[in-house]
Structure 1
Amino acid sequence: MPGALDGVRVLDLSRVLAGPYATMILGDLGADVIKVEAPGGSDDTRFWGPPFQNGMSAYYTAVNRNKRSITVNLKSAEGQETIRRLAETADVLIHNFKTGTMEQWGLGYESLSRLNPRLIYCSITGFGETGPLASLAGYDYIIQAMSGWMSINGTADTGPLKVGVAVTDVFTGLYAAVAIEAALWARQKTGRGQKIDLSLFDCAVSALVNVAANYLMSGNIPQPLGNEHPNIVPYSTYEASDGPIVIAVGNDRQFHALCSLLSDRSIGTDPRFQTNSGRVAHRDELNRRLNEEIKQRSRAEWQRLLAEKGIPCGPVQTLEELFRHPQTDARHMTVTMHHPTVGKLKLVASPLKLSETPVSYRLPPPLAGEHNREAEALWRNGPTPENCDAKSP
């Protein structure tokens, strides 16, 4: 069955995470994605490990399926001409070179859009193409620090902490996919492509959502709360008898339902805890008393009791527990793909569940330059047969 983006041609000059994540999403949805690297392979994630499987890094496999790979020397006149020729028939070009680099090579939006006015050109940089920091390179860790994310993560004891995944890259990849799809839809009406200027910095600021809104409304600088919620209590991690569990009480009804399960009934009648505002003001006292209660039962028992009351909760799981969980299996969140030299690769599957145009897993993460000999025909040929053992929902 054709994917939602079947027939869309994507020229992917990005590397590492934000851009490749965006183009993998487009590829999963049916787009024909051509990954362009320097001769020998210039995507650093090919070498980020361990772990490796037959020479291919796990990091690289995470965001590079459903792509073909060609190698081009972008610093040479011949390589630049190759990109111009491919851009003439592409729908989308995406890159994450530093601001001004593509223009130096004669591959900026103005130049390529003259060759192909329908081209959608997505630039991903650390800080965007304008402003005093436009010339700086951007890495997720730096952006987490500068965007305020680290200042709200951690506790007073730990100090600022980064999130365990490169979340600003992930946010930017998601925003890039959304922006490209919006530009494709706009082109249906106007017949013209456009330029998309995305930065990790902007996307990280946008993803602060309610924490940023709290500051903009109150002027109060948020402090790191660890596993606490800035606006809701109780909404935290508690220690059951056999390990940590998260309990997320979203309103007064749920709070009183929780209290009905406690042996200390005075918690539910304490006037300080009757409203969420009161609970926020007295979070330390309330959490101390709740912890005394939660540790009296196991995580499974709390899950059962809280689910019966309609109170959101869940155990803090390791990745081993996650990938053994029946919900993960039921949602088909892993897929096994076959690579001719690497062997079987088990990957995280797409979360996109489309009833009429489902995602597909056609191509495993490519070797550098694997499709060089096919470069001329890549834009003319249709999709290849599926090459995976994916479970269909």
Structure 2
Amino acid sequence: MPHMPASAALSRFRVIDLSQVRAGPTACRQLADWGADVVQVQMPEHMRGDDTLGGQDGSDYQYTHRNKRSITLNLKEEEGIATLKRLIATADVVVENFRPDVKYRLGIDYDSLAKDHPGLVYASISGFGQTGPLAQRPGFDQIAQGMGGLMSVTGLPGDGPARVGIPIADLCAGIFAAQGILIALLEREQSGKGQWLHTSLLESMVYMLDFQTARFLTDGEVATQAGNFHPTSIPTGVYQARDGYMNIAVFGSKIWERFCHILGAPQWIADARYHDKASRSVHRDTLNAEINQRLAAEDRAYWVEKFNAGGVACGLISDMREVFAEPQLQHLGMVKEVVSERLGPQRLVGQPVQLERTPSTIARAAPRRGQHTEEILQELGISAEHIVEMKEQGVF
């Protein structure tokens, strides 16, 4: 079945996905969800390593590789490389996350390909960058979380470092790569030229530290773990009502005053311990204890309604079941449905950005390894007879 664009937005672009595991496939999923013809190039079944996310029938793999087509090519065979180059010649974008040296050894690095394809946008994702003392070191999400500083500011004080509960380094690197690809495609409209762009798990993690890096680089302040409480805005964090936990965010003096009145403690506004942010920071433990004591009088639903009605941000801390039962999330339509030929109906989270005229959807479920090999080879003009020969020779 030919390309089925998930959106009209990027349907004119073809992307060759040479990546595996998560960061690269995430970048390509972003493009596929907006309509790009993403062709996932994988090793043949008999040669594959452990390059799938929980197996091809697993939920993780199905989520990450929806809206793509799949071709298998043996890149250890000369004709496999030649066929890949032929495929790349029809494309706008290549995405890879090999070790930095592998693409040069295979002759599919940017400079080699750009000689015959000057408009190519080539995206590389690595653990630590394309050059430098750690360039050849293998990258892994949790390693980047640690080296990038995130784990030093995550978790409860005194409990030691804590990882974030999602592969945030992989995901951010993939999303930043997709953003870089779109920027390069926009620039190409003016210059007519492609370019090489690259990011890494390490760079993505450091960038995501955001105000924590500013605190250090500007003020020399080394952030530490603040647990469930905001390090600079007090009181903002996790609080306990009668029936469980919730988040409350109090930013600025006016919101602080509203918060005090709603909680029935207007005297805190003039209290020397709490009257400004600096004082509340010094006495945060005492303040938090007093807040929890007052919150214990009512259930979470009462306080969520009361605070939000008064202009103080407040929300439940939801598990997955509660997340998808939330009426607002259902209204936003983030859950999309698609039917897999192999696995049947599926429900998957769609894109978090809504384009009114060219929306994103899930047009096809994740492909089986090599499902579209012969179809794509035919699109390249390769005859049916030669396709049979290629298969017999182990090219795919």
Tell me, yes or no, if the aligned pair for 2:35 and 2:360 is still in contact at 8 Å: yes
Structure 1 residues 312-323: aligned runs within 5 Å = 312-323=313-324
Residue 24 (structure 1) aligned with residue 29 (structure 2): yes
The residue aligned with 2:143 is 142
Q: Which residue of 2 is the match for residue 39 of structure 1? A: 44
Moved more, 260-269 or 151-160: 260-269
* Contact 1:21-1:63 within 8 A present in 2 as well: yes
Aligned to 1:56, what secondary structure does the other structure show?
coil
Are 2:14 and 1:13 equivalent residues in the alignment?
no
Aligned to 1:388: none
Q: Percent identity?
A: 37
Deviation track 1:257-299 (CA, whole Å, cap 9, x = no partner) reads 0100223443232122122222223221211111111121111
Aligned to 1:375: 376
What's the offset of the Cα at 1:342? 1.2
Q: Which moved more, 1:371-380 or 1:180-189?
A: 371-380
Structure 1 residues 3-59: Cα deviation after superposition (integer angstroms, max 9, x where no partner): 21111000001111111111111111110000011111848463527xxxxx71111
In structure 1, list runs of 5 or more residues that go unmatched.
Answer: 50-54, 381-393
Contact 1:16 1:43 in 2 (8 A): no
Tell me, yes or no, if structure 1 residue 325 matches structure 2 residue 330.
Answer: no
Confirm or deny: 8 A CA contact 2:20 2:52 kept in the other structure.
no
> Which residues in structure 2 correspond to 1:1-393 (within 5 Å)?
3-40=8-45, 42=48, 44=50, 46=52, 48=54, 56-378=57-379
Quick one: distance in 2 between partners of 1:175 and 1:102? Answer: 21
Cα drift, residue 339 of structure 1: 0.9
Q: Is contact 2:21-2:53 (8 Å) kept?
A: no
Would you say the 8 A contact 1:45–1:57 is kept in 2? no
Deviates more, 1:205-214 or 1:265-274: 265-274
Deviation, 1:183, is 0.2
- Normalising by structure 2, report the TM-score: 0.91
Distance 1:65 1:128 in 2: 28
CA distance in 2, matches of 1:42, 1:254: 57
SS state at 1:127 partner? coil
Report the Cα distance in structure 1 between the residues aligned to 2:298 and 2:49, rounded to whole angstroms: 49
Instruction: Find the residue that maps to 2:364 and give its secondary structure.
Output: coil
Gaps of 5+ in 2: 1-5, 382-396
Between 117-126 and 208-217, the greater mean CA deviation after superposition: 208-217
Larger displacement relative to structure 2 (63-72 or 212-221): 212-221
Task: Summarize the Cα distance change of 1:213–1:86 in structure 2 as closer, same or farther, 3 Å threshold.
Answer: same
Label 1:39 to 1:268 Cα distance change in 2 as closer, same or farther (>3 A): same
- 1:227 deviation in Å? 0.9
CA distance in 1, matches of 2:49, 2:280: 49
Q: What is the letter of the counterpart of residue 334 of structure 2?
A: M
- Distance, in Å, in 1 between the alignment partners of 2:168 and 2:7 is 31
Tell whether the 8 Å contact from 1:246 to 1:316 is kept in structure 2 after alignment: yes
Tell me the matched-pair count.
Answer: 375
TM-align CA RMSD: 1.7
Please list the CA deviations of residues 172-219 of structure 1 after superposition, one character each: whole Å capped at 9, or x if unmatched: 111011100000000000000000011110111011000111111222
Deviation by residue 1:339-363 (Cα, 9 ceiling, x = unmatched): 1111111111111200111113211
How far residue 377 of structure 1 moved from its aligned partner, in angstroms, is: 4.3
Whether the 8 Å CA contact 2:268–2:275 is kept in 1: the answer is: no
Question: For the residues of structure 1 that align with 2:44 and 2:183, how far apart are their CA atoms?
Answer: 33
| Cα distance in 2 between the residues matched to 1:136 and 1:116 | 30
The TM-score with structure 1 as length reference comes to 0.92
After superposition, the Cα gap between the structure-2 partners of 1:331 and 1:179, relative to the gap in structure 1 and judged at 3 Å, is: same
* Distance across 2 between alignment mates of 1:43 and 1:205: 31
Q: Which letter maps to 1:190?
A: S
User: Which amino acid is 2:29 matched to?
Assistant: M
Aligned mates of 1:379, 1:264 — CA distance in 2: 73
